[in-house]
Chain A
Amino acid sequence: MMNRVLAKRELAPLVTLLEVEAPRIQRRWKAGQFIIIRPLESSERIPLTIVDSDPVRQSITMVIQAIGKTTREAVSLEPQALMCDLVGPLGEPATMTTGKNVVCMAGGVGVAELLPVAKAFHEAGNRVVALCGARSDNYRILDTELQAAVDELHWATDDGTYGFHGNVVQLLQSLAGPDTFQEGHVIGPIPMMKAAAEATRGWNMKLHASLNPVMIDGTGMCGGCRVTVGNEVKFACVDGPEFDAHLVDFDELTRRNRAYREMEQEALAHKCRVGLDVR
């Protein structure tokens, strides 16, 4: 099914927001769920988190960091263009709770993925503190939206150009102790999620991590997205993407996500070659 792009906005260098028409998904999605897209007929299938939706415009919003071939193809779509495929909502919604102190942590493009979850925690009657990380001041995204969604928002930048100088996990350690929060959600690069899990191990807090393994179908059919959680094999696209951060084997996830690294680079180079000369 072709889906029309309604709007496009660059949030930070290489980070782009796309609003796409998707009436059925708009009606049914919940925070923490994702979609799979194929931007062009010739593209790979890639998963992206649903960040927001608009019932009037019958649309959903995604925020994409252009890191490889497919994400670049996605952000090259202009308003009114048709996205070749868009399927969802996939995965289980984020675990919710009520009446608790909740910390929501994210880094990089994960900040966009965190937004709907933080909002949902807040709407469910929790006190929500969001800790967000960016490389530098100009890489911070969705600050206004987050401000409006949570009780407290803190930023950490790697170079100290805004807010706390350091990463999100260091920020957490500077602000909180074992009993500050009862529940938490973390989403972002694997090393960051792993560090957050390590930092809070032994705290009186449940921490949910939203994982990002390589996926193909997103329907539980291929097993390519499998992760190990507490010695059990899980399919992240249907059992997750969220799991108990303290039980996830992050090292395995890192290795599995690297499986196609050289080939992805080849794919990217291959495309350039086609554009540059005729072999």
Chain B
Amino acid sequence: MAAPPLKYKPNPKAPRQALPLLDAHVRAHSADEVALGFTPEQVSVEAQRCLQCAKPTCVEACPLHIDIKRFIARLAEGEFQSAHDVISEQSPFPGVCGRVCQHELFCEDACIVGRKWDPVAIGSLERFAADHARLRMKELAASYPKPTGPKVALVGSGPASLIAAYDLVRWNYQVTIFEALHKLGGVLAYGIPNFRLPREILREEIARLQNMGVEFVVDFIAGKTATLKELMEEGYQAIFIGTGAGLPHMMGIPGENLVGVYTANEFLTRINLMEAFKFPDAPTPVRIGKRTIVVGGGNSAMDAARWANRMGSETTILYRRGRVELKARLEEIEHAEEEGIKFEFLAAPVALYGDENGYVKEIECIRMELGEPDESGRRAPVPIEASRHRIPVDTVVAAIGQAPNPTLQKVTPQLITRRGRILIDEQGETSMPRVYAGGDVVRGGSTVILAMKDGRAAAKAIHDTLSSTPEVQ
């Protein structure tokens, strides 16, 4: 593609536009989206901050290789629909990625402008293009014919499978996604709160796949409802496993089973998937007392803390390392701080104490100091024994990480795993022929965009295999 005629003069020195946010006081009691999205005026300024580099490092750095340079040019020209079309060449999920992608680690980290000034706000521009095009989803899908090619099964409906479905259906494969839960989207549906990713955005971007001919089967647990072998016998020529890392790590401290102690998964599933924030208008309850402590420093911890806070609980995040080591998206940390969530750094829980009915009422903590760097390159926290102290608490949420979902692996011993993670070769293929895997089930916990990268790579490998052996029917 030739570079578009530019109607603008790049102006990288203009200040990076700040996303308008819902007022922190309103947020405190609302499930509504926090980040409101750029105005067209802001888009104009922000898009012109892009230098339209001859060698756009941002495109290389985006795991989906979205043509960032070109879609930004379209935005600068006011061609908002066409910006969305450019993104669609690589991704049907700009509404999701524009909101939850850790762009500071990928495209924005690589942006040339960022060497001297703040990088171009690529994520927020992507989101703008998506929001602008939302109402066109059906029309977009209508341009694709119904697929007629070989059948491919994708297990799990998280980002890894979703992008694989997009690529495969465009190559004419008949794609079926099997999902264990009753809603689609994986972590996007049960983990990430509405105030970060409104459910209608997720639904609409998934509906686009549906309109393109991707079939979705919910309430289906691969390995339980049917085995991989049975799926193959039903005519699926290749299978992709994108079952994610849903198995929560436990803290392993006394008192962990007291009432009021949750894993982040349970807490977030109750609230996001089952909509406990609407209880009793929604049927599933969640127990949130006056004081909540969330243990951990990743995205799950921020999400759980921000929900607890919204539901009226005085909320503290307890993290055994320091602020710079927090693993959540930068934006979420800032939003959590704005919303009044307290952070206790260099502290870890050692025990929980309950009342006579078995409800948690105190957490015993210990202070840490940072020692030598560990295998992850971060300085390992070392406990200071004399610092034990107890804090009163009503709700405790353990957000200390997840391991791959073991269900399928347990009944499929042919799948070789290491510490629960499915092992794959360079093509994304597992130890079982024509069975591929990617996303969190291979990486352990990671990010939406890396899961998508894996799904895309697997789709390509499946296409290469199936198109080179057409005789297998």
Contacts and interface: CB of A to CB of B under 8 A. Distances in A.
Interface of A: 1, 24-25, 28, 38, 42-45, 69-70, 84-90, 216-217, 219-224, 226-228, 233, 238, 252, 255-256, 258-260, 263-264, 266-267, 270
B224 A89 contact: yes
A221 B180 CA distance: 11
A87 B259 contact: no
Nearest to B227: A28
A155 B269 CA distance: 42
Given A216-B269, A220-B406, A222-B265, A255 B285 contact: no
Given A42-B282, A223-B250, 4 more contacts: A219-B181, A221-B247, A238-B407, A255-B358
B225 interface: yes
B257 A263 contact: no
20 contacts: A86-B219, A87-B220, A87-B225, A88-B224, A89-B225, A216-B269, A217-B180, A217-B181, A220-B406, A221-B247, A221-B405, A223-B248, A228-B257, A233-B257, A252-B358, A255-B259, A258-B259, A259-B259, A259-B260, A267-B285
Contact of A264 (B269, B285, B358): B285
B284 A221 contact: no
B259 A222 contact: no
B326 interface: no
Contacts of A42: 282-283
B144 interface: no
Contact of B280 (A25, A43, A90, A266): A266
Nearest to B287: A259
Nearest to B219: A87
Nearest to A41: B182
Contacts of B279: 263, 267
A22 B166 CA distance: 30
Given A87-B182, A219-B221, A220-B405, A69 B283 contact: yes
Give the dominant DSSP class at A's interface. mixed
Contact of A221 (B218, B225, B265, B357): B265
A38 B273 CA distance: 13
A188 to B, nearest CB: 22
B269 A25 contact: no
Contacts of A44: 274, 283-284
Nearest to A89: B224
Contacts of B247: 220-221
A42 B283 CA distance: 7
A140 B45 CA distance: 75
Nearest to B402: A221
Interface in B212-236: 217-221, 224-226
Contacts of B159: none
Contact of B257 (A28, A45, A84, A256): A256
Nearest to A91: B224
Contact of B270 (A216, A255, A258): A216
Given A45-B182, A87-B220, A87-B221, A219 B407 contact: yes
B4 to A, nearest CB: 46
B94 interface: no
A264 B284 CA distance: 8
Instruction: Please indicate which of the listed interface residues B224, B269, B284 has the most CB atoms of chain A within 10 Å of its own CB.
Output: B224
B263 A222 contact: yes
Contacts, number: 120
A1 B219 CA distance: 6
Instruction: Please indicate which of the listed interface residues A222, A259, A260, A266 has the most CB atoms of chain B within 10 Å of its own CB.
Output: A222
B444 interface: no
Contacts of A85: 182, 218-219
A69 B219 CA distance: 22
The 3 closest A-B pairs by CB, nearest first: A255-B358, A222-B266, A263-B285
B449 to A, nearest CB: 22
A220 B407 CA distance: 8
Given A252-B257, A256-B257, A270 B265 contact: no
A267 B225 contact: no
Classify chain B: how many residues form its interface, as a range: 35 or more
Nearest to A270: B280
Interface in B268-296: 269-270, 274, 279-285, 287
B263 A223 contact: yes
Contacts of B405: 219-221
B119 interface: no
A1 B220 contact: yes
A88 B259 contact: no
A84 B280 CA distance: 20
Contacts of B108: none
A64 B227 CA distance: 29
A216 B266 contact: yes
B246 interface: yes
A230 to B, nearest CB: 14
A228 B358 CA distance: 14
Interface in B326-361: 357-358
Given A1-B218, A88-B224, A252-B257, A221 B250 contact: no
Nearest to A216: B269
A233 B282 CA distance: 30
Contact of B284 (A216, A219, A259): A216
A121 B430 CA distance: 38
A85 B225 CA distance: 14
A274 to B, nearest CB: 9
A255 B360 CA distance: 11
A217 B269 contact: yes
A224 B261 CA distance: 9
Nearest to A222: B266
A229 B225 CA distance: 27
B248 A221 contact: yes
B226 A28 contact: yes
B217 A1 contact: yes
B153 to A, nearest CB: 14
Given A24-B225, A260-B287, A233 B181 contact: no
Instruction: Please indicate which of the listed interface residues A42, A221, A238, A270 has the most CB atoms of chain B within 10 Å of its own CB.
Output: A221
Nearest to B246: A221
Contacts of A270: 280-281
Given A24-B226, A270-B280, A222 B257 contact: no
A255 to B, nearest CB: 3
A70 B181 CA distance: 18
Nearest to A267: B280
Contacts of A222: 248, 263, 265-266, 269-270
B362 interface: no
A219 B180 contact: yes
Contacts of A226: 250, 257
